[in-house]
Each structure stands twice: as C-alpha cells, then as structure tokens.
C-alpha cells in the first residue's frame, strides 16, 4: 500500500508540473499575441498617416501648392475637434469639399477616439451633431502662434493668417504636419501611444517616423491656450518662441529633441 501511495503522489506532482508549464506557455503566447496585435495596429496607424499625406497632396494640387489652413486664428488644440460650433477646422473642410468620402484614416486604432463613435452612418456619412474628434493632430503652423493676441498691443498688430504664413510643404524640411493626438485626456482614455510613449509623425515629405518620449514629458505638458505656439516662427516681439509648451512639443516632433534655445518645456 505504501508503494502505491508513493506512485500516486508522484503522478499528481507530474500533473501539476505539466499544468504549470502549460500556464507559463499560454502566458508567453498571450504576450506575444498582444505584441503582434499592437504592432499590426501601429502599422495601420502609419498607413493612415500616409493616406492623409496623399489627401493633403490632392488639396495642394488644387490650391497652388498650399495645404489647408484655418479661417480662424487660434491655437492647434482647437482642431482636435473636426466639426464644432464656430470652428473652421481645415481637416473638416477636406471632407466637406469632397477630397475623401470616408474619413476612417483620421482615426488611429490605438486611440480611444474611433470613427464609429464620431460619425453617423445611415444614408450618408456625416460627423455627429456635437462634433467629431479626430485621433490625429494637424499642425496649423504659423496661424496658431498668437500667444499675446488678447493684449491691446497685439490686437493693433492684427496678424492675419495670410501674414502669418500659409503652410507650403515645399518651403520646409523635416516639418511634422500630422501626428498622433497629444490632447490631454483622462487616464482612462489614454491611447497606447501615450502609454508606450511613442508617437507616429507624418512629415511634409510623406515620411512617417516614430518619436519616443523617453522621459514621459508629453502627458505632463500644459496644452492650454496660453501655452500654444510654434518654435519655427518668431513671437510678435521678434524673438524665437521658447516660452510656450506647444512650441517645444512641435520642436520635439520635428527634431526629436526637447531642448530649444538652451531651454526645456515649462
């Protein structure tokens, strides 16, 4: 009887060992499958940005080489929403003017902002009444840099979009024009780009690269109106914009470095 008991106990140990091995293998497989899925969705994200470049190219062909710009001088965070009251977002105009019928390429599969949540699909495709939030951010470039326009002296200058500069892709090198959204969301809505600290960036030469925010700076930046700007153009006082967070952010997307004029973001 004692020999049988030993044999029975040994068999149970073997069973537990096999189950443990199977569990470990399944865990590894799940991690691999998750990684493969994220890589596949990241590939879709990069493909979307490429398609968005062709969309911009179609527009520029019909508009003397210029890319869409806003009719309303405001900062880039405005254009996180495609269609809303009193907002004249260039991305929305691209759809309304018929340059694309289905704006699915405006949505990254790694973002909480999804096409099906933002657009109504019945007899036709149209944005929701309350507005449609894109998961990509379009760079308004010169138009967005009005850091002191509420001050009387700034109002006298009366910078207009035409004077601030129209975005012409042939005039610049290494210009980030469309990126994964950097708007501040609640933690429950963070995209995988923010979690993995990697943002895909479309440049004006149609290339798409990934910028890694190794120090996790982006989630902690103040992106409010008062911190909007663009490092490539001067402030109304003639100085380079090294005092607004969004200027540093575009510098990071353009160059991969947070340091500009010896300074870092606030």
Residue 182 in any domain: the answer is yes
Residue 178 in any domain: the answer is yes
Looking at the structure of the chain, the number of domains it has is 1
pLDDT at 47: 95
Per-residue pLDDT tens for 133-179? 788 888 876 545 444 444 434 444 444 444 444 667 777 789 998 89
| Phi, psi of 128, deg, nearest 5 | -60, 155
Tokens of 110: 């790694």
Residue 19 in any domain: the answer is yes
Task: Supply the pTM of this predicted model.
Answer: 0.78
Residue 265 in any domain: the answer is no
Residue 29 in any domain: the answer is yes
pLDDT at 24: 81
Residue (of 220, 225, 228) closest to 245 by Cα position: 228
Residue 263 in any domain: the answer is no
- In the chain, the DSSP E strands lie at 119-121, 125-127, 136-138, 176-180, 198-203, 208-212
Per-residue pLDDT tens for 218-233? 888 887 767 777 888 7
The residue range of the domain holding 176 is 2-255
Given a cut of 70, the residues of the chain with pLDDT beneath it are 1-10, 69-90, 141-167, 183-189, 225, 236
Dist CA 50 CA 48 (whole Å): 5
Residue 260 in any domain: the answer is no
Residue 264 in any domain: the answer is no
For residue 138, the SS3 value is strand
CA-to-CA separations, 105 to 44, 50, 249, in angstroms, rounded: 9, 9, 23
Q: Alpha carbon 65 to chain centroid distance?
A: 24
């Amino acid at each position: 009887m004692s020999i049988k008991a030993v044999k029975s106990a040994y068999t149970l140990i073997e069973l537990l060992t096999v189950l443990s091995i199977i569990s470990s293998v399944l865990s590894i497989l799940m991690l691999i499958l998750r990684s493969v899925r994220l890589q596949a969705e990241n590939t879709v994200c990069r493909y979307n940005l490429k398609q968005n470049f062709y969309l911009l190219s179609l527009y520029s062909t019909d508009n003397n080489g210029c890319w869409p710009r806003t009719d309303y001088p405001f900062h880039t965070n405005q254009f996180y929403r495609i269609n809303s009251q009193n907002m004249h977002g260039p991305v929305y105009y691209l759809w309304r003017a018929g340059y694309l019928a289905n704006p699915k390429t405006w949505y990254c599969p790694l973002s909480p902002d999804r096409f099906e949540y933002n657009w109504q699909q019945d007899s036709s495709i149209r944005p929701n009444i309350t507005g449609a939030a894109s998961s990509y951010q379009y760079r308004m470039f010169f138009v967005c840099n009005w850091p002191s326009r509420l001050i009387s002296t700034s109002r006298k200058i009366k910078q207009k979009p035409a004077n601030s500069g129209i975005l012409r892709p042939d005039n610049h090198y290494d210009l980030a024009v469309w990126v994964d959204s950097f708007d501040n969301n609640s933690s429950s809505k963070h995209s995988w780009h923010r979690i993995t600290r990697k943002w895909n960036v479309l440049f004006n030469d149609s290339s798409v690269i990934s910028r890694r925010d190794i120090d996790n700076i982006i989630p902690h930046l103040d992106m409010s109106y008062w911190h909007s700007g663009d490092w490539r153009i001067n402030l109304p006082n003639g100085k380079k914009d090294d005092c607004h967070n969004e200027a540093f952010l575009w510098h990071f997307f353009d160059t991969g470095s947070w340091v500009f004029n010896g300074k870092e973001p606030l």
